[in-house]
Structure 1
Amino acid sequence: MDQQAMLTRDLVLRICATATEFDPEWIRLDRKVVAPFTAPRDTSLIERVTAAAAAVGVEHVLICRTRPEYAYEPVTQVRAATASLIGVIRSWGDEPTDFLVCLEDFSAAVLITAEELTVAAGPADYVAALVGPDIGRARADFAAAAHDRQDPDLLEAADLYGCPVPDDPAAPSRRSLADRITGRNRADRDGPPRAAAGPRALRGAWGWAMVVVLVVAAPFVPGIPGTVAVAVLTVWLLAQLAWLARSRTLSFAALLRLALLGALTTWPVALVELAVASAVRLDPGDPLAYVYLAVPVEEAAKFTPLLLFWLVARRRMRRFAAVDYLLAAAACGAGFQLVESAASLLVFSDAVAYPLPQGGLFTLLPGWLEHPVAGIRFSGHAVTTGLVGAAVGLAVVGRGLYGAKLWLLPPLALGATALEHLNHNAALAELTPTALTTVVFALYGNGAATRWLLLLLLVCAVLLDHRMLRFAAQSTPPLPGEAPLRGLTARAHGRAVWRRSHLPGDIAPLFRGIALAWARFPVTLTQAASAVLHEFAVQLAAARRGPATLYSTWRLLRRRREHAMGVARAAGRTRRQDPDRGELAAEVDGLAERLGLAAPALAASAVLAVAGAVAAATVPLPAAVGEPGAAYAFVTVTFLTDWFTALPTVQAAWAAAGTLALASLLASGWSVPRDLPSLRRFLRTPSAAVGTVLGAGAPGQLPYAVVGLLGLLLPKSTDRLLARSR
């Protein structure tokens, strides 16, 4: 065994507050997961310590006694093996003592007292190897045992390390209005099936009725088929982003409602542009207004739905993941783009002067607009607004880890999107940009690279989110089964420990920070991949057991991420976390049993859409001049207003009905189905079964049904994905 130059005093002062307590400052560094537990002082405890070291891929550990009388003993470096650790402990004599086993880079440690108290602190994988995969349950059990036994040492440890106190009257119980409404709706949906069957059937019937309305209205309003096609392309774009965002907490139905709000924002934005034009004495139809008026106003106003969301559900946004900001912003921009494209299709159905969104079923992030003459591309409001949202999400969620420098990203992203929007509007107004604008815009591909930049930020946001989610491991119930890539994750972690422990201490802080980040990156990458693949494995195993199990698994995974993100972003501050951990733990246990594993506003939106359209038709706006086409919000609303008021009565009625139908289809019918039809129920009560079919088969729910039925074709060997250890 090699003797380290470090003395016991130096190591203990770095990690411990006393001989039997960890230093809170050391725990807060890197936001370590902490779990106190009781265990007999025998070989099995040492085996768990070596298993924890193996879980993070280290071969050597540091061990020393923590009492003051041993302060000047050298710290011993020893192989992470049971026999080696026992040999060191026996060399100290037969008298029980407090001692510390620590990783070489001081990122994790286990403090073993002379009594039965043991405390583990470090990454989630390290602590889970000592107390079990459900760290939150182990902490709660420790607190319950401490209160049952009234042991002062255990009670002090439970309080020091923040273990949840059973029936704590000081625990936060106040919920925001938005959380109370969400909880009430979820309770109604999860309640007796008969109570929710009526509203679900009505929603499904209304959705299919709106489809019929669109089909019937198409001959009367020629632009409706093209508008529906653009709406489908918009939904497909958001579906791609939602699927790629493997750490999101927002439901897909919420994204489409935000898209509807983004579409309705077009009318207030047009009024703002008119007011600004009047204030600066600029004709809103002037070509210069396309650039100097539309771009700054619209780039800021597109975030209005997200601002409203923050005002009414501020606590819910505290549980947002970084990708949620991207998705919410992209949804707002997608609705804005939908109105601009629909205006061109409806008003100029015979000869469209405004470029239409490009892309198809097999196109990644469709919806861009081409300007062949100018040689530029506008990526679409969904992509550009999503780019700014991604930058904001990285700054908001990651500032605690990477500092305030992340706030440089939103201005840079906003400048890039504004420049792209400016060149797009300049091409529509037949204006020539300045040489500087042209050169800067050409540096990132004249708009062709924006989609790839958005994907890059999305990947960064997912990696950041999964790193944050691991900080909440002491509260979040683990998923059933074994996580994949455990061996790869352990090797990456062990390599990072070696690099950090061998990093010279006299290098400049800048280079030291770069070296530490480089050592950490493979760990973040492998842990995120492991978490994503684990969720996929759980979904595949659930899909094989039928649509009902798959749908409940989807809801559980999203709510579990929401809870974990709320805990991680709270950073130790006392907040009520919704969803509740107890509810999630019960759902996870139920899912484990089903998998055969051991436990470890429809009307309001539609009326709002029609009211917005009617209000826009009655607002007196000056006539737009210049190039025809929906170039910006003022021009879009002006053309739509003139077009709607000039329609004959019958066509106007069908146009209003089509608007109502499209808004209704975006606002409802996209949630994951809950109560599924069954053949037995159909044979007993056919009328009730028809209502169940409508409740689970709204137009937007058909993709869920297809995926659920395809899951039944999966082979039985799919279950082995959750049992692999490597």
Structure 2
Amino acid sequence: MDQQAMLTRDLVLRICATATEFDLDWIEFDRKIVAPFTAARDTSLIERITAAAAAVGVDHVLICRTRSEYAYEPVIQVRAATSSLIGVIRSWGDTPTDFLVCLEDLSAAVLVTADELTVAAGPADYVAAFVGDDIGRARAEFAETAHTRNDPELLQAAVRYGCLDPAGRDKRKPRGDVGERVSAWGEALRDRSPRSVARARAVRGAWGWIALLLLALAALVVPAIPTALTAVALTVWLLAQLAWLARSRTLSFAALLRLTVLGALALGPIAFLELAVAALLRLDPFDPLASVAVAVPVEEVAKFLPFLVFWLVARRRMRRFAAVDYLLAAAACGAGFQLAETVATVLSADETAFHPLPQGGAFTLFPGWLEIPWADIRFSGHAVTTGLVGATLGIAVVGRRLYGAKLWLLPPLALGAAALEHLTFNALLAGLEPTALTATVFALYGNGAATRWLLLLFLVCGVLLDYRMQRLAAHTTPPLPGKAPLRRLAAQAYGRAVWYRSHLPGDIAPLFRRIALAWARLPVTLVEAAAAILHEYTVQLAAASRGPTALCTAWRVLRRRREHAMGVARAAGQPTRVPDRDKLAAEADGLLVRLGLATPAALAVCAAAAAVVDSLDPGVLGGAYALPTLLAVTAWFTALPTADAVWVLVGAGALVSLLASGWSVPRDQPNPRRFLRTPRATIGAVLGAAAPGQLPYAAVGMLGLLLPKSTARLLVRSR
């Protein structure tokens, strides 16, 4: 064993407040997970220390006594093996003492007191090696033990490390917003009146099919409606791709479609706002210059009106948003706005004029862009450009505590890129010539082709950030069933990061030091995110093999678990409203019995929608300016015969109701065995779980039955 030049005093002052307590600033530095527990002073505790070191991939640890009389002893670097640690401890004599074992980069440590109190602090994998995968339950059990035994030392540790609230502290959570109160009312109603809720679901499902029939009849009467429906299918498919790729999201797919409806309804207010701005600038709204000077700045900002409405109604829910939720919500708002422009243009445009059509197909990444063929110019579409701004906003909001305020530079840059693309496209469409500077910058930007790939890049960054944030809430979040995959790779990555950080020269410039630390951390972030995603997928496969009921339960629990983790991580110790931990843990335990969670909802979005997307006929869709589009469709509607106008209204109402409801994950699956006994109830259950938007869930559930029951063994074999 080697002796370090560092003295015990230097190490203890960095990590400990006293000989038996960790320093809270050291814990808060990188949001370490802390778990106090009681353990006998025997070989099993040393074995747990060794297992914790192996869990983070380190071969050597630092060990020293923490009492002041040993302040000038050298810190000992020892191999992370049970025999080596026992040898050092025995060399100190037979008298029990307080000692510290930590990693070389000081990112994790365990403090062993002379009595039975032991405290582990560090990343979740390190702490879990001491107290088990369910760190939150271990902390609660320690608090209960301290309270039951009324031991002053244990009570002080429980309060210090957040297992118990100190006396006199206000335990009330902030009052819920409107959205949370409505959700709580719905949950209470489901518990109090399950039959009434089942009937309401059946009515909703029946109305969904009636609305679909009405929409089909309207399409027979109004020839332009089928073409408009292809744009709807394209929008749904685009949102499905984004939702499926956003693995860390907490927003449901049903919520995205409701935001899409709000985005479409925002076309009217945006058009009137453009009219007001044009009047303020003393500019003719139909002047080609207005499509650049008025439409671009107004639309790029006003597209976020539904996002603002969401914040007003559910601002506390937004405090539990993941970074990718901002992307998804913004993309849904932009998709709705473009859908309204497209449908209005389809219904009212002169077929002899050129109108760029949203491009894309079933196998196209982020479809919906518009092109001007003769100029080789592309507008990525409002969904993609607005999603890009939302992605950077989410990264700035969620990641500012980890990476600083410099992230707030990203949203203005993204908004500028979106405005540049929109401005160039509108200018060419209106017959205007962009300035040389604008054309040069836009050419360097790829003439609009780079936006989709930038969105994908920021989406991946958002997912990585979210999973890193969620690990900071491991002390309250219930673990997933089974063992996480890639454990060995994660340990190797973390061990490599520890080695780099501990061997980094102390006299290098701060900028290069930050770069080196970020480079050392990057593999850990990548592997941990990949492990979390694979773990969810493994659990989902196991649930799918158990049937649709387990699958649907899993969808909800996974999303609520991520929401809980993001709420706790973003609150950073402040009082906040998150999904109840005990209820969530009970649901997770139920899944453990069934061995299940589920595949993402967006994966199951209409294959029919993807097929319809391929039928788009380039040449008659799209609109680059909301005000003329709204005026044109209004004039077209007023000129319709009364019967046709009625069918247009019926079709519009049916479409809005189809998008706004019937896309949530089914809660109660029908039981075919009960059909002969209670046929009416069974038919109602079928309607309640098989609205048009819920058919993809049923399809995935039926496919899951093809998996063998042994699929659940993957949760045990994961390495």
Q: 2:242 — aligned with what? A: 241
2:557 and 2:587 in contact (8 A); partners too: yes
Q: 1:135 — aligned with what? A: 135
1:100 and 1:112 in contact (8 A); partners too: yes
1:222 and 1:349 in contact (8 A); partners too: no
After TM superposition, list the pairs within 5 Å mapping 1:588-603 onto structure 2: 588-595=588-595
Q: 1:690 — aligned with what? A: 683
- 1:142–1:671 CA distance, 2 compared to 1 (3 A): same
Q: 2:666 — aligned with what? A: 673
The residue type equivalent to 1:492 in the other structure is A
Q: Secondary structure at the match of 2:220?
A: coil
- Give 1:192 shift: 5.6
Cα deviation, 1:25-68, whole Å, max 9, x if unaligned, reads 00001100000000000000000000000000000000000000
The residue type equivalent to 2:235 in the other structure is T
After TM superposition, list the pairs within 5 Å mapping 1:240-259 onto structure 2: 240-259=241-260
Q: 1:98 — aligned with what? A: 98
- Give 1:350 shift: 4.0
CA distance in 1 between partners of 2:718 and 2:629 (Å)? 57
1:353 and 1:629 in contact (8 A); partners too: no
Cα deviation, 1:315-365, whole Å, max 9, x if unaligned, reads 100000000000000000000010111112111274463211111111111
2:393 and 2:411 in contact (8 A); partners too: yes
Question: Are 1:644 and 2:645 an aligned pair?
Answer: no
Question: Are 1:634 and 2:611 an aligned pair?
Answer: no
The residue type equivalent to 1:16 in the other structure is C
CA distance in 2 between partners of 1:244 and 1:629 (Å)? 26
CA distance in 1 between partners of 2:714 and 2:490 (Å)? 17
- Give 1:572 shift: 1.2
2:228 and 2:346 in contact (8 A); partners too: yes
Q: Secondary structure at the match of 1:62?
A: strand
1:211 and 1:661 in contact (8 A); partners too: yes
**TM-score (structure 1 length as normaliser):** 0.94
2:541 and 2:704 in contact (8 A); partners too: yes
CA distance in 2 between partners of 1:81 and 1:592 (Å)? 33
After TM superposition, list the pairs within 5 Å mapping 1:484-503 onto structure 2: 484-503=485-504
Q: 1:75 — aligned with what? A: 75
Q: 2:717 — aligned with what? A: 724
CA distance in 2 between partners of 1:707 and 1:70 (Å)? 63
- Give 1:562 shift: 0.2
The residue type equivalent to 2:420 in the other structure is L
Q: 2:286 — aligned with what? A: 285
- 1:202–1:286 CA distance, 2 compared to 1 (3 A): same
The residue type equivalent to 2:280 in the other structure is A
- 1:493–1:190 CA distance, 2 compared to 1 (3 A): farther
2:48 and 2:129 in contact (8 A); partners too: yes
Q: Which moved more, 1:99-108 or 1:193-202?
A: 193-202
2:199 and 2:684 in contact (8 A); partners too: yes
- Give 1:187 shift: 3.4
The residue type equivalent to 2:254 in the other structure is A
1:142 and 1:158 in contact (8 A); partners too: yes
Q: Secondary structure at the match of 2:76?
A: strand
Q: Secondary structure at the match of 1:360?
A: coil
After TM superposition, list the pairs within 5 Å mapping 1:25-40 onto structure 2: 25-40=25-40
CA distance in 2 between partners of 1:692 and 1:389 (Å)? 38
Q: Which moved more, 1:102-111 or 1:200-209?
A: 200-209
Q: Secondary structure at the match of 2:118?
A: strand
1:111 and 1:120 in contact (8 A); partners too: yes
Q: 1:700 — aligned with what? A: 693
CA distance in 2 between partners of 1:172 and 1:524 (Å)? 35
1:352 and 1:629 in contact (8 A); partners too: no
Q: Secondary structure at the match of 2:198?
A: helix
- Give 1:532 shift: 0.5
1:370 and 1:376 in contact (8 A); partners too: yes
- Give 1:104 shift: 0.1
Q: 2:16 — aligned with what? A: 16
- Give 1:719 shift: 1.5
1:344 and 1:352 in contact (8 A); partners too: no
Question: Are 1:568 and 2:564 an aligned pair?
Answer: no
The residue type equivalent to 1:456 in the other structure is L
CA distance in 1 between partners of 2:115 and 2:711 (Å)? 46
1:333 and 1:381 in contact (8 A); partners too: yes
CA distance in 2 between partners of 1:166 and 1:546 (Å)? 46
Q: 1:608 — aligned with what? A: none
2:316 and 2:577 in contact (8 A); partners too: no
The residue type equivalent to 1:149 in the other structure is R
- Give 1:657 shift: 0.7
Q: Which moved more, 1:205-214 or 1:458-467?
A: 205-214
- 1:632–1:129 CA distance, 2 compared to 1 (3 A): same
Cα deviation, 1:295-321, whole Å, max 9, x if unaligned, reads 000000001111111111111000000
Q: 1:154 — aligned with what? A: 154
The residue type equivalent to 2:122 in the other structure is G
After TM superposition, list the pairs within 5 Å mapping 1:31-70 onto structure 2: 31-70=31-70
CA distance in 1 between partners of 2:113 and 2:575 (Å)? 29
The residue type equivalent to 1:510 in the other structure is L
**TM-score (structure 2 length as normaliser):** 0.95
Q: Secondary structure at the match of 1:560?
A: helix
CA distance in 2 between partners of 1:550 and 1:192 (Å)? 24
Q: Which moved more, 1:677-686 or 1:171-180?
A: 171-180
- Give 1:725 shift: 4.1
Q: Note the residue ranges of structure 2 that are not aligned, 5 or more in a row.
A: 598-619
The residue type equivalent to 1:534 in the other structure is H
Q: 1:710 — aligned with what? A: 703
Q: Secondary structure at the match of 2:104?
A: coil
CA distance in 2 between partners of 1:628 and 1:460 (Å)? 33
Q: 1:537 — aligned with what? A: 538
Q: Which moved more, 1:174-183 or 1:217-226?
A: 174-183
RMSD: 1.6
- 1:315–1:392 CA distance, 2 compared to 1 (3 A): same
1:345 and 1:352 in contact (8 A); partners too: no
Q: 1:511 — aligned with what? A: 512
Cα deviation, 1:399-419, whole Å, max 9, x if unaligned, reads 000000000100110000000
- 1:169–1:590 CA distance, 2 compared to 1 (3 A): farther
Cα deviation, 1:466-499, whole Å, max 9, x if unaligned, reads 0000000000000000000000000000000000
CA distance in 2 between partners of 1:646 and 1:596 (Å)? 56
Cα deviation, 1:424-481, whole Å, max 9, x if unaligned, reads 1112101111111111111121111111110000000000000000000000000000
- 1:259–1:705 CA distance, 2 compared to 1 (3 A): same
The residue type equivalent to 2:39 in the other structure is A
- 1:667–1:718 CA distance, 2 compared to 1 (3 A): same
2:539 and 2:596 in contact (8 A); partners too: no
- Give 1:174 shift: 4.2
1:205 and 1:694 in contact (8 A); partners too: yes
- 1:478–1:369 CA distance, 2 compared to 1 (3 A): same
- 1:542–1:187 CA distance, 2 compared to 1 (3 A): farther
Cα deviation, 1:56-100, whole Å, max 9, x if unaligned, reads 000000000000000000000000000000000000000000000
* Equivalenced residues, count: 696
Q: Secondary structure at the match of 1:101?
A: strand
- 1:227–1:491 CA distance, 2 compared to 1 (3 A): same
Q: Secondary structure at the match of 2:482?
A: coil
The residue type equivalent to 1:215 in the other structure is A
